Chain A
């Protein structure tokens, strides 16, 4: 698979990053039962950049992802997504932000089984009030970009795990969203399927998206422009694509 080897280039953070997290603290619970999921984490992800987040279980990887996309709110600190401070937004505005600026991909069960692949991808656009036909057209276009142009009318159950994840990536990107948040997107796939998904993510980053990828697997982290290590809610290391040997 050398032909799909990512280009060796350093991140070019010219201008504002897509998401900027500054001094973010997230505490679950209160008092003696309080759990510090994140402690003063700062992280920027720029357009065209694929950032991998690694770390042991409970290190705060998923919390970081949830905060970056506005699914959750920080206890302290600031998250700015495409120039908007999330702290100031109402739940309704956050939902709107998720429809227009950030897209999530999870480990599995990403798609609504009762909707076709194209309908799943079109869903955020339809929720945003885009006419059904246009939303469908946009979905078809994005599906083409992830290589699923022919499968739009299938139901998720008819697809392989890798195809399902590609559809989920398509849905996360539809409507020109620039931040793609992927939480262990390869976790439920075999090696080959996992490789395909990472390549798609790499391509989307190269095409201009900001991708934040949570993964356990060092070999996938190697496709990233930057790797952030979390432990006990803190960033312990951040290296610029320093995992060449693992590839």
Chain B
């Protein structure tokens, strides 16, 4: 561009500004197209920044100056800034049995004079709720103390003011079985069943382990929180110091056996993570894709503007505007809209982030960190918005600079130079991009995105070639379609960006759709058979016997008389706390991933002959005899060593594990995969000193196939009794991503129809002289509708088909990520099942059908519906 005088630029900006104010709807559209992505990016950036802005403390420090923990005998330890401690030999520190923690008085004495100290403890507890037992994290600290400020926010009820009171976390209340711990409920905590009444709800800051309950000090005795632990901060003190705690203080306290987490006030050796640069590099393809989308979206709108203003450009040219002047005036549009939209978008994003905080916090159930605006990032996003505006205005500006004033002012048709695409460059880019996309499968998703971007740029270059091919095909079509196709080709400069915009949006939607649909198809390992087909299971992790009685009778009520209800139990302590059983198996231990385990039996089921028949899927007299003899029946005989099976047991909470159970066993292979690992009779459990608690009720499909409706009624009844039990009828599952696909479909409809309508409006305006001619030779009014419909159809169809074809490869590549190890599903009966790690590819045909057939037809119908059928009267043209 030739250098412009300042006043020329000012005049150009003035024209842009006035024009923007004159055509308010077009301006709003362009502002939205540039501003909304900017707003979205700024919002995500700010919100993510707040989410990531949590510290790495082991315990939330709030307004305290420090949190300390320690024990006699820890003297001489060293620690890092985050409170990770080690002793002089470089081993982790933990209190030895019998090595008492410091008392509050001892801690106060070690600290600076005038320090105030309050106890803070945390641990994992099993507690009884009205709906059964559950295990959760309990934090015991005085939340009313100023030192606790900043670690929580009360959202409902009040704070605990006396021992025996607690607040429950909002996150826990977000779960389905919220009534179990809702305010007003009294929980019985631990083996000693200490009552704790829930008096309020609070959100907790994301630091350390977020608690389920926060009890008032004294609710639970200090030793219930286990031994002193520097990492867990199981028993610690919050310190309010008269002067800041410096690193020198930390070193001094370490020497005396205290580990210190503190508010950082002096500079520490920088340990900035080295991944920042690579993060930026990884963001490049996403930013480029966003930029391309915005440019292609807004480009046609600028093109409409140029067309509407062609007379204005011609007038400026007549008054002595050089091509550079005209280009500047058109580019000024891009600058103006880019700057205004970016500023508005950034402001919107910045305002929305704190406004959305309560919503985000409510959804997450935790407090977000303080809002620090990442100004550098926001400025970068805003700058990208301006660049997108300028780029979008570039092509129309070049066209504007070629305005032929004589042609425009005399009403003659302007014949711009139409480029027939860049077939060679386009083909090279498409081939290279597709090859790179295929090669990227299973690697970092950023590679897939980058190569998809290359393919898209190639396709953009090829669009005029596609258009030419379409026109050749159109020779046999009826007049409106033939006219639309020929018109599209003749005005390639206008049609190609519109088709490219539709295509780019469709590529993004299809690849996200394919990847998402495939992930859901893979994720259906969760729906891996949990029981024989047709079986009805009711599983509950840790319900009380009374609740099981109610559940049992509810299930019985719905089943026909005489249908046996098989009961499976699991081992428990004498007091009724369930024990997890580790039954050996031959699946390699290093490659496992526990996916779901509703009951937590570990595969050891306690029950009678009916259960045995159910898990083996046949009558087996040998197995029945063994069970009667008091021998465990092991379904995988390979794990029996010298006639015995060794089973390790672990309690749900941190109590000491009972000794392993070694029993003479009988191996019986099941028919099919088998639905438990070991079946033990209740007598054997009792003889070895264990209780057995119900963990599962089953209706064997061999006895009765429970209809879906019955299962639904049972589920509803059980739900009213307890939210912790799961009712499941074993039927083939379909991937549950309907909502995801509906959202994609709506986005597709908005984008494709929106872009098509803008481009069609433009085409219809340009085709006006032709329509005048048609009118003059006697075309019926509906011909105009048909022509506009045809113009919409050509753009939408070409864009969608090319986009779908181009979007499949990146979608498949993104979905093709073999898991590093096979998944292991732990079923409701406690048995693990290997699920192969092969990635599944699932094509969302409904979405593709919508894109290829539905939306183009809808676009055509819309084009016809929103066109005034009255044909324009030919206007006089100046001679």
Chain B residues with CB under 8 A of A183: 878
- A131 an interface residue at 8 Å Cβ cutoff? yes
The chain B residue sitting closest to A112, CB to CB, is B312
Mark interface residues in A69-104 (1 if CB within 8 Å of B CB, else 0): 101100000000000000000011001111110011
In contact, B409 and A103 (Cβ under 8 angstroms): no
In contact, B319 and A71 (Cβ under 8 angstroms): no
Give Cα A114 to B308, complex, Å. Answer: 13
In contact, A62 and B878 (Cβ under 8 angstroms): yes
Interface SS of B by simple majority? helix
Mark interface residues in B1-32 (1 if CB within 8 Å of A CB, else 0): 01001111011001100110110000000000
In contact, A57 and B10 (Cβ under 8 angstroms): no
Mark interface residues in B382-407 (1 if CB within 8 Å of A CB, else 0): 00000000000000000000000110
In contact, B315 and A110 (Cβ under 8 angstroms): yes
- On whether A127 and B315 interact (CB within 8 A), knowing A92-B2, A95-B322, A96-B320, the answer reads no
Give Cα A72 to B15, complex, Å. Answer: 26
Chain B residues with CB under 8 A of A61: 879
Residues 111-136 of A contacting B (Cβ, < 8 Å): 111-115, 119, 122-124, 126-132, 135
- A203 an interface residue at 8 Å Cβ cutoff? no
- A39 an interface residue at 8 Å Cβ cutoff? no
The chain A residue sitting closest to B320, CB to CB, is A99
In contact, B2 and A127 (Cβ under 8 angstroms): no
In contact, A72 and B18 (Cβ under 8 angstroms): no
In contact, B410 and A132 (Cβ under 8 angstroms): no
The chain A residue sitting closest to B18, CB to CB, is A114
Give Cα A71 to B322, complex, Å. Answer: 11
In contact, B322 and A109 (Cβ under 8 angstroms): no
Give Cα A129 to B4, complex, Å. Answer: 8
Chain B residues with CB under 8 A of A99: 319-321
- A13 an interface residue at 8 Å Cβ cutoff? no
- On whether A112 and B22 interact (CB within 8 A), knowing A123-B319, A127-B321, A135-B7, the answer reads no
Chain A residues with CB under 8 A of B315: 109-112
- B325 an interface residue at 8 Å Cβ cutoff? yes
- B817 an interface residue at 8 Å Cβ cutoff? no
- On whether A114 and B22 interact (CB within 8 A), knowing A92-B2, A126-B11, A129-B8, the answer reads yes
Chain A residues with CB under 8 A of B11: 119, 122-123, 126-127, 132
Give Cα A92 to B325, complex, Å. Answer: 10
- A58 an interface residue at 8 Å Cβ cutoff? yes
Give Cα A66 to B878, complex, Å. Answer: 13
- B316 an interface residue at 8 Å Cβ cutoff? yes
In contact, A66 and B320 (Cβ under 8 angstroms): no
- B324 an interface residue at 8 Å Cβ cutoff? yes
- A22 an interface residue at 8 Å Cβ cutoff? no
In contact, A98 and B406 (Cβ under 8 angstroms): no
Give Cα A241 to B22, complex, Å. Answer: 46
- A107 an interface residue at 8 Å Cβ cutoff? yes
A107, A131, A171: the one contacting B878 at CB < 8 Å is A107
Residues 158-200 of A contacting B (Cβ, < 8 Å): 171, 183-184
- A106 an interface residue at 8 Å Cβ cutoff? yes
Chain A residues with CB under 8 A of B19: 114
The chain B residue sitting closest to A108, CB to CB, is B878
A62, A100, A106: the one contacting B320 at CB < 8 Å is A100
In contact, A58 and B879 (Cβ under 8 angstroms): yes
Give Cα A78 to B878, complex, Å. Answer: 26
Q: By the criterion of a CB under 8 Å from any partner CB, how many residues of chain A are at the interface?
A: 42
- B776 an interface residue at 8 Å Cβ cutoff? no
In contact, A98 and B319 (Cβ under 8 angstroms): yes
- On whether A124 and B320 interact (CB within 8 A), knowing A71-B405, A92-B2, A184-B878, the answer reads yes
Q: Least Cβ distance of A92 to chain B in Å?
A: 5
The chain A residue sitting closest to B313, CB to CB, is A112
Chain A residues with CB under 8 A of B409: 106
Chain B residues with CB under 8 A of A111: 315
Most A CB contacts (10 A, CB to CB) among B10, B312, B319, B410 go to B319
Residues 312-335 of B contacting A (Cβ, < 8 Å): 312, 315-325
Chain B residues with CB under 8 A of A131: 6-7
Give Cα A69 to B406, complex, Å. Answer: 12
Most A CB contacts (10 A, CB to CB) among B6, B15, B405, B879 go to B879
Chain B residues with CB under 8 A of A114: 15, 18-19, 21-22, 312
Chain B residues with CB under 8 A of A130: 7
Chain A residues with CB under 8 A of B8: 126-129
Give Cα A71 to B323, complex, Å. Answer: 13
Chain B residues with CB under 8 A of A98: 318-320
Give Cα A132 to B320, complex, Å. Answer: 17
Residues 624-683 of B contacting A (Cβ, < 8 Å): none
- B153 an interface residue at 8 Å Cβ cutoff? no
Residues 467-507 of B contacting A (Cβ, < 8 Å): none
In contact, B7 and A123 (Cβ under 8 angstroms): no
The chain B residue sitting closest to A59, CB to CB, is B879
In contact, B406 and A72 (Cβ under 8 angstroms): yes
- On whether A95 and B406 interact (CB within 8 A), knowing A112-B15, A115-B18, A127-B8, the answer reads no
- On whether A92 and B410 interact (CB within 8 A), knowing A115-B15, A126-B8, the answer reads no
Chain A residues with CB under 8 A of B321: 95, 99, 127
In contact, B410 and A62 (Cβ under 8 angstroms): yes
In contact, B410 and A71 (Cβ under 8 angstroms): no
In contact, A115 and B14 (Cβ under 8 angstroms): yes
- B617 an interface residue at 8 Å Cβ cutoff? no
In contact, A92 and B15 (Cβ under 8 angstroms): no
In contact, A104 and B319 (Cβ under 8 angstroms): yes
Residues 9-59 of B contacting A (Cβ, < 8 Å): 10-11, 14-15, 18-19, 21-22
Chain B residues with CB under 8 A of A91: 322-323
In contact, A126 and B7 (Cβ under 8 angstroms): yes
Give Cα A119 to B878, complex, Å. Answer: 27
In contact, B879 and A62 (Cβ under 8 angstroms): yes
- On whether A113 and B316 interact (CB within 8 A), knowing A127-B321, A127-B325, the answer reads no
Mark interface residues in A12-41 (1 if CB within 8 Å of B CB, else 0): 000000000000000000000000000000
Give Cα A131 to B316, complex, Å. Answer: 18
Residues 67-124 of B contacting A (Cβ, < 8 Å): none
Give Cα A110 to B21, complex, Å. Answer: 20
8 CB contacts below 8 A, A to B, read: A71-B405, A95-B323, A98-B320, A109-B311, A127-B320, A129-B8, A132-B10, A183-B878
Q: Which 6 A-B pairs have the closest CB atoms?
A: A99-B320, A129-B5, A114-B18, A98-B320, A95-B322, A126-B11
Task: List the interface of chain B (C-beta within 8 A of A).
Answer: 2, 5-8, 10-11, 14-15, 18-19, 21-22, 311-312, 315-325, 405-406, 409-410, 878-879
Given A62-B879, A95-B323, A127-B8, 13 more A-B residue pairs with CB atoms under 8 Å apart are A91-B323, A92-B324, A95-B321, A98-B318, A98-B319, A110-B315, A111-B315, A123-B11, A124-B320, A127-B316, A127-B321, A129-B7, A129-B8
